[in-house]
Amino acid sequence: MSYTYEQLSKMTVVELRQIADGIEHEATKGHSTMHKDKLLPALCLALGIEAHAHHEVKGINKAKIKIEIRALKKERTTAMQNKDSVKLHEVREKIHRLKRELRKHIV
């Protein structure tokens, strides 16, 4: 059976050890004495699963906002070089607002 990281992370240590019993991989050797924080990454490695949770952004265009943030960072660099504090403040505020918008829409 194939598992996802989310499924594995919600399981108990006993359940994870039972899964590791059926897997012969270098990472799962000694699984019977491992705690969950060590066993979970070992199982992910043995099963070929990415060992972190993925966040999805819903309701906005994440790529467009990231491109806009990159452009604003270039503007921020030029404003710092020109010592234009007013422009620097405006650009930093825009970057801050866009990043907060992204974080707000993460599910």
DSSP state of 1: -
Q: Please report whether residue 36 resides in a domain.
A: yes
Q: How many domains is the chain partitioned into structurally?
A: 2
Task: Identify the pLDDT of residue 1.
Answer: 66
DSSP state of 60: S
The pLDDT tens digits of the residues spanning 63-95 come to 999 999 999 999 999 999 999 999 999 999 999
18 has pLDDT over 70: yes
Q: Please report whether residue 52 resides in a domain.
A: no
56 has pLDDT over 70: yes
Q: Please report whether residue 24 resides in a domain.
A: yes
What's the mean pLDDT in 39-59?
Answer: 85
- Supply the range of the domain harboring residue 39: 5-47
Shared domain check, 38 and 67: no
What's the mean pLDDT in 85-107?
Answer: 94
User: What count of other Cβ atoms lies within 10 Å of the Cβ of residue 68?
Assistant: 14
Task: Identify the pLDDT of residue 73.
Answer: 97
